[in-house]
Amino acid sequence: MEQLIRKALDGDPRSIARLISIVESDSPYAENIMKTIYPRSGRAHFIGITGSPGAGKSTLVDKIIREFKERGKSVGVVAVDPSSPFTGGAILGDRLRMQSHALDPDVFIRSMGSRGSLGGLSHATYEAALILDACGKDVVLIETVGVGQSEVDIVKIADTVCLVLVPGMGDDIQIMKAGIMEIADVFVVNKADRDGADKIVREVNVMLDLMGERSWRPPIHKTMAEKGEGVGDAVIALAEHRSYLQKTEEGRKRKWRRLELEVEEIMRREISRVVENSWNERKTVELLNGLAERTLDPYSVAGELLDRVFSREA
């Protein structure tokens, strides 16, 4: 294991892939891997790419990789694929759309299943990004499924959130979707070869006006991801947002909030695990019997179980 981690930290793609698989499988080694990796992380720019399915996120990621590479940056990608509800397997499409980098040792692309939870980002998504960071990637792109919670959750992981919109896809709905406008740091209006791109740009501008004065006004970039047009300017905007975060109080706060969330996420998982385990304990069964007979109430039972959780080893 130690050797595997060392090779990954040296940038060996196969070792990186193995580490991510181990973490993704919830193996008992995962915690140790993350503990060893963590001090080496914290350098990469995490960029979330979100937007409705079919908006062109994967196509765009492929071109964003190229732009960053031209600027001398190494890039890692974590693409969260929609899992098939039947097989749980990840769809290969995203890999195909990014295949122009398949043989490039400086680019690491990883697809992950979204594990049934509707578009949810699993903790493995974040951990994979941290591994890529520790293993020397300058930029980590995280492509979400673009439905449900993952769209909003990306803000918990990414330094910079890029929201991809397209003409002719129920524009108003895309834009008005609760909470989405607020988390976007850079807007991309993709498929600008189609009619209606300028209309979306205007609508987003109106929305941004309504949201009032902010020290970072998210820029809006039109792209044609298939041809790669406009992507260079969008990438400049992504990099500028990062510089902005590094210089400002808002950036400092956001970083702090992310540290809190990292710990919170692990605490929640640990508490869930303890709660789950407690159902089989004799003491719990006794307490639940008390409930059934109405000699106890659920508040007292929960209180007693929580006391046990918090006095655990410690």
Chain residues binding Mg ion by CB under 5 A are 57-58, 94
String of DSSP letters for 285-306 = HHHHHHHHTTSS-HHHHHHHHH
Q: Indicate the burial class of 80 (C-beta count within 10 angstroms; 0-12, 13-18, 19 or more).
A: buried
Task: Return the number of the residue (9 or 90) whose C-beta is nearest Mg ion.
Answer: 90
Q: Residue 64: helix, strand or coil by DSSP? A: helix
Contact call for residue 170 and ligand GDP (CB under 6 A): no
In angstroms, what is the minimal distance from the CB of 75 to Mg ion?
Answer: 16
- Residue of this chain nearest to Mg ion (CB atom): 58
Contact call for residue 174 and ligand GDP (CB under 6 A): no
For residue 82 the two structure tokens come to 């929609």
- The C-alpha atoms of residue 136 and residue 23 are separated, in whole angstroms, by 18
Task: Return the number of the residue (98 or 245) whose C-beta is nearest ligand GDP.
Answer: 98
- The C-alpha atoms of residue 60 and residue 50 are separated, in whole angstroms, by 11
User: Which whole-number Å values give the CA distances from 254 to 137, 143, 156, 251, 265, in the listed order?
Assistant: 21, 20, 9, 5, 16
Contact call for residue 233 and ligand GDP (CB under 6 A): no
Contact call for residue 160 and ligand GDP (CB under 6 A): no
Out of 57, 66, 110, 241, which residue is the one contacting ligand GDP (CB under 6 A)?
57
Question: 162 and 50 in contact (C-beta within 8 Å)?
Answer: yes
Contact call for residue 239 and ligand GDP (CB under 6 A): no
Out of 48, 56, 76, 82, which residue is the one contacting ligand GDP (CB under 6 A)?
56
Out of 9, 33, 55, 201, which residue is the one contacting ligand GDP (CB under 6 A)?
55
Instruction: Specify the DSSP element, H or E, that contains 276.
Output: helix 249-278
- Binding at 42: pick from Mg ion, ligand GDP, none (beta carbon under 5-8 Å per type): none
Out of 226, 233, 240, 262, which residue is the one contacting ligand GDP (CB under 6 A)?
226
Question: 140 and 41 in contact (C-beta within 8 Å)?
Answer: no
Beta strands, E only, the chain: 45-50, 75-81, 107-113, 139-143, 160-165, 186-189, 220-222
Task: Return the number of the residue (22 or 79) whose C-beta is nearest Mg ion.
Answer: 79
Task: Return the number of the residue (5 or 112) whose C-beta is nearest ligand GDP.
Answer: 112
Query: Residue 284's beta-bridge partner residues?
Result: none
In angstroms, what is the minimal distance from the CB of 104 to ligand GDP?
Answer: 19
Question: 80 and 145 in contact (C-beta within 8 Å)?
Answer: yes
- Binding at 224: pick from Mg ion, ligand GDP, none (beta carbon under 5-8 Å per type): ligand GDP
- Binding at 240: pick from ligand GDP, Mg ion, none (beta carbon under 5-8 Å per type): none
In angstroms, what is the minimal distance from the CB of 93 to ligand GDP?
Answer: 6
- The C-alpha atoms of residue 151 and residue 158 are separated, in whole angstroms, by 11
Residues that bind ligand GDP (CB under 6 A): 53-59, 93, 97, 190-191, 193-194, 224-226
